[in-house]
Structure 1
Amino acid sequence: MQQENLVEYGARRVIITITAIFCALLEIVDTTIVNVALNDMRGNMGATLSEIGWVITAYAIGNVIVVPMTSWLSQQFGRRNYFAVSIVIFTISSFLCGNASALWELVLFRFIQGLGGGALLVTSQTIITESYPPEKRGMAQAIYGLGVIIGPTLGPPLGGYIVDNFAWPYIFYINIPIGVIATLLTLQFVRSPKYAEKKSANEIDWWGIGFLAMAVGSLQYVLERGQEDDWFNDTTILVLGITAVLGFFFFVWRELVYKNPIVELRVLKNSNLRVGTLLSFLLGFGLYGSTFIIPLYTQGLLGWTATQSGMLMIPAALMTAFMMPLIGKLLEKGIPNQYLVAGGMVVFFVYSFWGYKIITPDTGADDFFWMLMARGIGMGMLFIPITALSLSTLKGQQIGQGAAFTGMMRQLGGSFGVALITTFVSRRNELHRMDLVSKLDTNNPDVINRVNSAASMWASKGMDSRTALGSAYKGLEYSIIKQATVLSYMDVFLYLGILFLICVPFVLMVKSNKQQGKLDASAMH
């Protein structure tokens, strides 16, 4: 199969690259831009907090279902057509989301938007990879990585700005002009590889599609809603947990025995891809987990606005952007991927440990600056080498299949990260609260003085002595809860860092492929 004819040069390559990155950005920004608008949506739609959470959950479920199928769908319809149709679906559903008047209508359109969006992420990666000659692949991954890493960070400040100055539907309307331009550029410039015969309808792996949707859809629901619904004590969560396990079992069995599988699992025989898939999961865990926890802490405990906590993340994102081309160059010079990944993990540990050290009930914005810079450097060192390692020894059609695996694992890693962190924080909160309360001695002169001075302050504002005393105790309870929450966030940072540090020796044990440069070049021809 002649693959080299997909390599582009000059202005054409630039246009294809920009189009693909914009599409990846659209998809990722939309994952996080909604977070800051949830309160406004809730007010408008008269929804509860757990109901409005579905706006995020539905999108994630749509995303995770379609990502593993993208390689197969590209072959069925031709990559260019599939990519263009995905952009159109994404753009139209963005318009419908902005126009939705009822909650479940919005949730449905978000699910459809997720189906369109999942394709954008993986297909844009494949298009960029194949548009560059093999020796420039590291740089191609660096360019793609810019979009993927900056996206989650751009979402909250952009969302905050739009919500503060306009209205929440505009966070969806902003996609429309970009979507229209991207569709036109795709149809004009992107080319499809020549694939083998398309499958007829009766050869299509419908069972595989069904099992996959059942497995990842149920798993995503369990992860997103678990903590809120008390995990497996809730019947729905329990049933869906079992459904996910059975779905995955039957899906794997079906894909291995069927002659035209929807997801080519055999591509995982490639050891680099196997390692890369696990590392992508870990990257998603760290990337989305840390993007999730910092706004929670700054908005919930420090009382910042959405825009303020969004802006906090921007310098770190720029740092990552600055790192990406440098890392791309280092890879082109032949520095082994696993050294860079191990270095990135150590830097990520430094960032987490730093976070563990500086978090207090009143940490200032300046204290975060260098810590988040470390995160920016760490993410830059992790993203490209992991992607390059995963796809380095794949050829032709396998590139798309490999990109689909790493993309799905990154998304699932993010969902696991957010679910585990949410659960962990609420469990640790309870523990720390009990611990702090047990150390409070009501006969201790310091405690008595604190309560009395607070009571007399309330009394001076015109309260009767009994109510003033009650308010003083409430204030004490509030400061205990605040302190317990800070301690829980400290634990999250510490354990996240340790998790990354533990992985370093395993990454260094990955065998370096001495012939990688040669293999890489021949793999694409």
Structure 2
Amino acid sequence: MKAPRWHHFLHREKQLLLMWLLGALVGMEFLENGMFVFASSHILGGIGVAPREFAQVQAAYAIGSMLMIAMQQWLSRHFGYRHYLLLALLLYALGDLASANAANLAELTTARLMQGLGGGAFFISTRVLIPMLFSPAQRPRAVRVYMLSIFSVGAIGPLLSAWLVDGWGWRWVFWVVLPPAALIALAVRWLLPRHLGRSSTPVRWSLAPVLLFVLAIGCVQWSFSEARYELFDHPERLALVILTGVLLLGLFGMHQWKHDEPLLHLRDLTHPGFLVGIALYALYYFIVNFSNYLFPQFAEQGLHIPLVTTGWLNSFAALISLAVAVLYIRYAGQVANKRALMMAGCIAMAGASFWLSSIPPDAPASALYGALVIKGFFGVLMVLPVAALTFRALDARHFAKGYQSKNIMRQMMASFSSAVAAVALQDNRFMEYNDLAARVTPSDPAAVSWLHAMQVHFEQLGYTVSQAQGAALAELGATLQQQALFMACQHLYQVLGAVAALAAVVVVSQRHLR
């Protein structure tokens, strides 16, 4: 009797370790991406490029990730999940190492492309592995561990990123991920069954759809990152790339629809409930990624809040989300109308955005807490009901196929929304600066008085008259830049609030997810 009990204990402990391994895999990618977005201005500044190039770097990661997601079923069936994930972890670590050592935009873009190739495997594979590794009785616990891992790293990421950048430099945003990646690789090698997911029949490889997919998403992602600049400089080139991307996506879709072993199983994903769920997912990812890019710029550069304090504020909002997630997991089953929860989440985000858009320029960090508390409800109340209801529309045998398509959309929207946020912030900042600068003229008594006071201040510090004049003008320019960024951020928060309100209307009007 002792041996079976001992084996049962070991099996139970191994199952628990597997749950946490899946959570760690997906959590590592969420953690690193969250740190990268939070520290993006410092990372790009560290290699001497403009903020607009963030869109290009994000597009590179998205292309690599989407390619790996598209090939996930082929690769996992050929190699098995253990070797597939070990290969992905190797690519991810190499890309992370290259990112830490990048010295220019081309090197960082290439490194993030490689990192995306590895990272694309984690989210989809770990979620698909839950029904493969655990019995129906164990799956609810595995899903809870999985969701809590995602929300927990969301609370850790901003603060850790701020602390690393402030104390050690931006390269440590990448260095810090390497030890966990090595530990996770050892756990994958030890815990995952050798042939899990491996097909007994040969996998039919076809290069044509892969190349078609890469070309299509490459054109789409280039359009996302360069549209604003190409629109005025080379509109005909932008139109050609957009047309080419749409055409290639159409050809790829037709090919996949007819193919016996496609990369994406589009024919099995036509249920209206699933399609509506994917549309709501897209709205969620646009809003959350736009907000994640905007807030650090607003707090640190717009309000002059110290970097580490900005990290604390961001992590505070994520801790609220984690607390709401715990409550949701415990009590969501008692709420029959999930659409009301989704609508409440969107309204919370709209309220938080409009709150942040009305904060005065001299507001202390404490003035942000109320908006951040409200914002913390959005992620949980919006995405968890959508996640539960979207895949309910599919048969269990189509779950992996649906999750694959959902994750491709996630990466595309993450890249698109980050690109829109980066470009819109720079454009609005430029326009606000020009408007402010036009008001500062010799005929403006307030500007003249301010400059005179600053000049006197610098003269008292020992500057000569000419040096004091130059220093006062430089101080004025810096003040105008800071004020322009603050006003641009507030304008974009108004836009974000309007988008969140629109999302609430979409949730109310749809009839397929309830």
TM-score (norm 2): 0.84
Alpha-carbon distance in structure 2 between the residues aligned to 1:59 and 1:198: 32
Q: 1:176 to 1:489 in 2, by over 3 A?
A: closer
Alpha-carbon distance in structure 2 between the residues aligned to 1:345 and 1:245: 30
Alpha-carbon distance in structure 2 between the residues aligned to 1:22 and 1:49: 33
After superposition, what is the alpha-carbon deviation per residue over 1:361-417, rounded to whole angstroms, capped at 9, x for unaligned?
Answer: 332111112211211122121221121122123233421121122222222222222
Q: Secondary structure at the match of 2:68?
A: helix
Residue 316 of structure 2 corresponds to residue 315 of structure 1: yes
Residue 96 of structure 2 corresponds to residue 94 of structure 1: yes
Which residue in 1 is equivalent to 2:16? Answer: 14
After superposition, what is the alpha-carbon deviation per residue over 1:496-517, rounded to whole angstroms, capped at 9, x for unaligned?
Answer: 1121112223213433679xxx
Q: Secondary structure at the match of 1:269?
A: coil
Which residue in 1 is equivalent to 2:5? Answer: none
Which residue in 2 is equivalent to 1:69? Answer: 71
After superposition, what is the alpha-carbon deviation per residue over 1:34-66, rounded to whole angstroms, capped at 9, x for unaligned?
Answer: 4537747865xx654479856555333312332
Alpha-carbon distance in structure 1 between the residues aligned to 2:92 and 2:439: 54
Alpha-carbon distance in structure 2 between the residues aligned to 1:51 and 1:505: 32
Alpha-carbon distance in structure 1 between the residues aligned to 2:58 and 2:153: 16
Q: 1:430 to 1:143 in 2, by over 3 A?
A: same
Which residue in 2 is equivalent to 1:175? Answer: 177
Which residue in 2 is equivalent to 1:280? Answer: 281
- Whether the 8 Å contact between 2:288 and 2:379 is mirrored in structure 1 is yes
Shift of 1:331: 3.4
Which residue in 2 is equivalent to 1:411? Answer: 411
- Whether the 8 Å contact between 1:222 and 1:240 is mirrored in structure 2 is yes
Alpha-carbon distance in structure 1 between the residues aligned to 2:138 and 2:293: 33
Shift of 1:319: 1.4
- Whether the 8 Å contact between 1:138 and 1:332 is mirrored in structure 2 is no
What is the correspondence of 1:331-410 to structure 2 with a 5 Å cutoff? 331-333=332-334, 335-358=336-359, 360-410=360-410
Q: 1:184 to 1:454 in 2, by over 3 A?
A: closer
After superposition, what is the alpha-carbon deviation per residue over 1:455-504, rounded to whole angstroms, capped at 9, x for unaligned?
Answer: 44455556676775666566555444433332221121112112111222
Q: Aligned pairs, how many?
A: 501
Q: 1:298 to 1:86 in 2, by over 3 A?
A: same
Q: 1:68 to 1:154 in 2, by over 3 A?
A: farther
Letter in 1 for 2:129: I
Alpha-carbon distance in structure 1 between the residues aligned to 2:153 and 2:369: 19
Residue 100 of structure 2 corresponds to residue 121 of structure 1: no
- Whether the 8 Å contact between 1:338 and 1:510 is mirrored in structure 2 is no
- Whether the 8 Å contact between 2:278 and 2:390 is mirrored in structure 1 is yes
Shift of 1:269: 0.6
Q: 1:129 to 1:388 in 2, by over 3 A?
A: farther
- Whether the 8 Å contact between 1:142 and 1:324 is mirrored in structure 2 is no
Which residue in 2 is equivalent to 1:218? Answer: 219
Which residue in 1 is equivalent to 2:495? Answer: 495
Letter in 1 for 2:26: A
Alpha-carbon distance in structure 1 between the residues aligned to 2:178 and 2:422: 33
- Whether the 8 Å contact between 1:65 and 1:217 is mirrored in structure 2 is no
Q: Secondary structure at the match of 1:392?
A: helix
Identify the range of structure 1 (487-496 vs 60-69) with the bigger mean alpha-carbon deviation: 60-69
- Whether the 8 Å contact between 1:391 and 1:399 is mirrored in structure 2 is yes
Shift of 1:199: 5.0
Letter in 1 for 2:311: G
Identify the range of structure 1 (214-223 vs 474-483) with the bigger mean alpha-carbon deviation: 474-483
Letter in 2 for 1:307: V
- Whether the 8 Å contact between 2:26 and 2:126 is mirrored in structure 1 is yes
Shift of 1:81: 3.5
Letter in 2 for 1:486: F
Which residue in 1 is equivalent to 2:252? Answer: 251
- Whether the 8 Å contact between 1:62 and 1:115 is mirrored in structure 2 is yes
What is the correspondence of 1:145-224 to structure 2 with a 5 Å cutoff? 145-151=147-153, 154-166=156-168, 170-190=172-192, 198=201, 200=203, 203-224=204-225
Q: Secondary structure at the match of 2:71?
A: helix
Which residue in 1 is equivalent to 2:331? Answer: 330
After superposition, what is the alpha-carbon deviation per residue over 1:250-282, rounded to whole angstroms, capped at 9, x for unaligned?
Answer: 211211122221111123312222112111111
Shift of 1:112: 1.9
Letter in 2 for 1:94: D
Which residue in 2 is equivalent to 1:484? Answer: 484
Alpha-carbon distance in structure 2 between the residues aligned to 1:173 and 1:471: 39
Letter in 2 for 1:300: Q
Which residue in 2 is equivalent to 1:507? Answer: 507
Which residue in 1 is equivalent to 2:86? Answer: 84
Shift of 1:237: 5.7
Percent identity, please: 21
Alpha-carbon distance in structure 1 between the residues aligned to 2:327 and 2:244: 45
2:113 pairs, out of 111, 118, 125, with: 111
- Whether the 8 Å contact between 1:278 and 1:409 is mirrored in structure 2 is no
Letter in 2 for 1:377: F
Q: 1:137 to 1:362 in 2, by over 3 A?
A: farther
Alpha-carbon distance in structure 2 between the residues aligned to 1:362 and 1:138: 47
Q: 1:148 to 1:337 in 2, by over 3 A?
A: same
Which residue in 2 is equivalent to 1:518? Answer: none
Q: Secondary structure at the match of 2:393?
A: coil
Alpha-carbon distance in structure 1 between the residues aligned to 2:147 and 2:281: 13
Residue 33 of structure 2 corresponds to residue 31 of structure 1: yes
Query: Please, what is the CA RMSD of the aligned residues?
Result: 3.6
Letter in 2 for 1:209: V
Give the gaps of 5 or more residues in structure 1: 1-8, 515-525
Which residue in 2 is equivalent to 1:5? Answer: none
Shift of 1:145: 3.2
